[in-house]
Amino acid sequence: MTKLDLLYDWYRRVWIEADLDAIDDYFAPRCGANGILSDGQVSAEDFRALVPALRALVRNLDIGIDRSVEAGDWLWAQITVHARTARGVDPIKATGQVMLRFEGSRIAEAYNSFDFITFFEQTGLLPKDAFLLLLSGERLG
């Protein structure tokens, strides 16, 4: 199985099917994902809380890999998340990137960047054009 196959499988099993037990199949011991939360790494245990929390905001979740590059133990991928809001039929489309280093078939390092502002705007939890409001100095909340 290629690194790209493993990433597709991670998104399918953990995020789409919400198989939280599968998290340990993909993470090497002591692995953490950087860039998801501002205060540090997200561990396998943290994903067990994060996945259900984010999935509760959406339905019809689909995660596509738009482009990818494999080099040695590393995989970089640009992703697009498509879903519908949990409370309605409004579409959600947000993008992100992930860079992973593998040890065998498990993720040893993960670096993430995801457009959470767009995601939360589309779920209705942030006002439309929140980024522009913040740029203008407007405080939210």
Task: Provide, rounded to the nearest whole percent, the portion of the chain with pLDDT above 70.
Answer: 100
Predicted TM-score (pTM) of this structure: 0.91
Beta bridge mates, 94: 81
pLDDT at 117 > cutoff 90 = yes
First to last CA, the chain: 46
Domain boundaries, the chain: 3-135
The CATH class, in words, for 3-135 is: alpha beta
Buried b (16+ CB within 10 A) or exposed e, 78-111: ebebebebeeeeeebebebbbbbbbeeeebbbbe
Weakest-pLDDT range from 17-21, 41-45, 68-72, 89-93: 41-45
pLDDT at 60 > cutoff 80 = yes
pLDDT at 40 > cutoff 80 = no
- Tokens representing residue 114 in the block: 């995801």
